[in-house]
Chain A
Amino acid sequence: MPGTDALTRLQSTGQFALELEAVSRHFGALVALADVNMSVKAGERRAVLGSNGAGKTTLFNAITGDFPTTTGRVRLFGEDVTDLPSHERIRRGLRRTYQISLLFNGLTVLDNTYLACRGVTRGRFSLRRPKRDDSSLELAETLLQAVHLDDVKDKQVAELSYGQQRQLEIALALSGAPRLILFDEPAAGLSPTERTLLVEILQSLPAHIGFIIIEHDMDVALKVSERVTMMHNGRIFKEGTPEEIENDSEVQELYLGQGGDHG
């Protein structure tokens, strides 16, 4: 875990996509995040593991600004964004998916994706209906092809299968020009085939796009990530390469010994 000095030094080189400095989040008496320090390089692929209630989703909410942090600073691409609202962080290249899909159920798949592409460009307040050759619309169509949803693009989200909704979650996070994407358990509830597809999508992302993935499925997590962060009770207690983490005795004890521990 790098100290504050290291953070400051590395920040000036601008090679970090994300830096968290002593970030805490309390819910009443519950400490969901305790003094978390973390840095993710630009383009890095990071997995965050931990038991239920470890604080992984809370960590994402702190990074995106969905919920304000109680203390600490959040830096994105070298810029302190702690006091910036969510949408400003998104416009700087941050994206996320939600553990429980948050989609616009009454809109078509294409409309959902169109809004995601429009959200990070100009013309959000346009009173005109988008034309067929609208750039955001074209981008949305391309994205839907990439996640294999192009043949259901005119369906309403409510009509999609669970797996397709998860794929749409990912499409929304890929919109615009993302630089750092936070995936919150994208594989949960997917069939083996859909999992393979997901891994393919993640592995085929351009190298400059970094991501952090929360994943209970070790197979998926270790396949797509270069580094792993282990969380427990709102704290980071281990960080390393997938091999280091797999072979770590403490981790094995926690994961195998207390596998049924759902906090």
Chain B
Amino acid sequence: MDSRGLFSGSFSIKDVHPAILITAVFLVAYPSFATDFFIFQIGAYSLILGTIALSLMMLAGYGGMVSLAQLTVAGLAAYLMAILGDNSMGVMGLGWPWWLTVIVSVLGAALFSTFIGAVSVRTEGIYTIMITLAVAVAFFYFVRQNYVLFNGFTGFAGVEPPTLFGIYWRDPVPFYYLTLTVAVGFFGAVYYCARSTFGLALQAIRDNPRRMRALGFNVTLHRIVAYFFAGVIAGFAGVLLVWFNGRVSPGTIGVDVAIDILVIAVVGGLRHPVGPFLGAIAFVLLENFAIDLIDRERFNMVIGTAFLLVVLFSPDGLLGLWNRFRDKFRFRGNALLGDERVSKNDPTSTGSLEKN
């Protein structure tokens, strides 16, 4: 591949790697051959978890900020859907029209994420993890004890997507396409924006915040804005999550689940937006089928072991494994897993910046 450089605006169909076409056709045609269980429980659920993990990948992979509170942000959007819209619990349920509920829920989540960013971006590494973990734990106990707004331990049930154009959107096939649209939309947005001025600056801040300050960038503000965008992504995923489950309770946003999201993002790979989705598919498949092989109690051990193996043997996650495989078999081009700046010398490079 020649060095087209970051700033070339040209784009032609020839640049599209065959693997992308195959993946696209597969994703669109999937409901035509999969069972309802596979469409809904595996397909749609993977896309939702993948989207939440995408918001973490964006912060951690491009921004170097590992937040354990992205599920909490999605959870707030899920709760707001139940509180502002309709639920069957007789608590809150203000009955706002669905579109207004969605907009306000996503915005609420984005502002919450911005707030988390504001209190955590001056910290680095382990301290960021600790602060965001503290937020996640605090929010979990708060909703569990607050009955007036959040209906405490029970939470809310009966949260439904609207029936629009004569379609009940919680039916497996329409819901699958809905989640696919949202997931692909955010995947594309993250992929595109990674090379935008904002994205480029975010990655440069990850690699060298001091130099970025010396170039005139407001590093703190840049990081907080990244949290805002991550909050928008997580917020939409939260809306889908509550429609998927039909309910939301403290258990939805527990720390164990927050850690699952981290595992998904890390196992999938933090260097490219496709990573979180790979991780989510692997996770959901394991969650559903490991049970057949071993009992429920041991499931976390399987997940934990998988996590360890990936972190030890492929720091770039499944994505890194794939890249090595691809390199071995000399796949032509690299449009799927990176852009024009994939280094030929570095098998794990995915086109994002190198970590120093």
Give chain B residues whose Cβ lies under 8 Å from the Cβ of A39. Answer: none
Please pick, from A87, A110, A156, the residue contacting B216 in the complex, using a CB distance under 8 A. Answer: A87
Please name the residue on chain A nearest to B349 by beta carbon. A106
Instruction: Check A40 for interface membership: any CB of B closer than 8 A.
Output: no
CB of B196 within 8 A of CB of A128, answer yes
**Distance of A57 from chain B, by nearest CB (Å):** 13
Instruction: Check A167 for interface membership: any CB of B closer than 8 A.
Output: no
**Distance of A225 from chain B, by nearest CB (Å):** 22
Knowing A108-B341, A130-B197, the reply to whether A87 touches B208 (Cβ < 8 A) is: no
Please name the residue on chain A nearest to B218 by beta carbon. A87
Complex-state Cα separation, A98 to B207, whole angstroms: 16
Of the stretches B5-13, B63-71, B96-104, B329-337, the one at the interface is: B5-13
CB of B356 within 8 A of CB of A127, answer no
Scan residues 57-74 of chain A and give those whose CB is less than 8 A from a CB of chain B. 64-66
Scan residues 97-116 of chain A and give those whose CB is less than 8 A from a CB of chain B. 98, 102-108, 110-111, 114-116
CB of B354 within 8 A of CB of A106, answer yes
Knowing A90-B216, A102-B211, A105-B354, the reply to whether A129 touches B201 (Cβ < 8 A) is: no
Please pick, from B8, B201, B341, B354, the residue contacting A115 in the complex, using a CB distance under 8 A. Answer: B201
**Distance of B206 from chain A, by nearest CB (Å):** 10
Instruction: Check A96 for interface membership: any CB of B closer than 8 A.
Output: yes
Please name the residue on chain A nearest to B192 by beta carbon. A129
- How many of B's residues come within 8 Å of A, CB to CB? 37
Complex-state Cα separation, A66 to B207, whole angstroms: 16
Please pick, from A125, A129, A132, A172, the residue contacting B215 in the complex, using a CB distance under 8 A. Answer: A172
Scan residues 182-202 of chain B and give those whose CB is less than 8 A from a CB of chain A. 192-193, 195-201
Please pick, from B8, B204, B225, the residue contacting A107 in the complex, using a CB distance under 8 A. Answer: B204
Instruction: Tell me if A's interface is mostly helix, strand, loop or mixed.
Output: loop
Instruction: Check B3 for interface membership: any CB of A closer than 8 A.
Output: yes
Please name the residue on chain A nearest to B211 by beta carbon. A102
Give chain A residues whose Cβ lies under 8 Å from the Cβ of B200. Answer: 107, 111, 114-115
Complex-state Cα separation, A131 to B218, whole angstroms: 23
Instruction: Check A124 for interface membership: any CB of B closer than 8 A.
Output: yes
**Distance of B147 from chain A, by nearest CB (Å):** 41
**Distance of A247 from chain B, by nearest CB (Å):** 36
Please pick, from A86, A131, A158, the residue contacting B214 in the complex, using a CB distance under 8 A. Answer: A86
**Distance of A43 from chain B, by nearest CB (Å):** 21
Knowing A102-B208, A106-B354, the reply to whether A126 touches B197 (Cβ < 8 A) is: yes
Knowing A90-B215, A91-B216, the reply to whether A107 touches B197 (Cβ < 8 A) is: no
Instruction: Check A48 for interface membership: any CB of B closer than 8 A.
Output: no
Instruction: Check B353 for interface membership: any CB of A closer than 8 A.
Output: yes
Please pick, from A102, A129, A154, the residue contacting B210 in the complex, using a CB distance under 8 A. Answer: A102
CB of B207 within 8 A of CB of A105, answer yes
Give chain B residues whose Cβ lies under 8 Å from the Cβ of A175. Answer: 215
13 new A-B contacts, CB < 8 A, other than A102-B210, A127-B197, A175-B215, are A102-B214, A104-B204, A104-B208, A105-B207, A108-B5, A111-B200, A115-B215, A120-B215, A120-B216, A124-B198, A131-B9, A132-B8, A156-B343
21 A-B contact pairs sorted by A residue (CB < 8 Å): A98-B211, A102-B208, A108-B341, A110-B5, A111-B200, A114-B7, A115-B200, A115-B201, A115-B212, A115-B215, A118-B201, A119-B215, A124-B218, A124-B222, A126-B198, A128-B196, A129-B196, A130-B197, A131-B7, A132-B7, A154-B3
Seen from chain A, the residues whose Cβ lies within 8 Å of a Cβ on chain B are 64-66, 85-87, 90-91, 95-96, 98, 102-108, 110-111, 114-116, 118-120, 123-132, 134, 137, 154, 156, 158, 172, 175-176
Kindly list the 3 A-B residue pairs having the minimum CB-CB distance in the complex, ordered from nearest: A106-B354, A119-B216, A119-B215
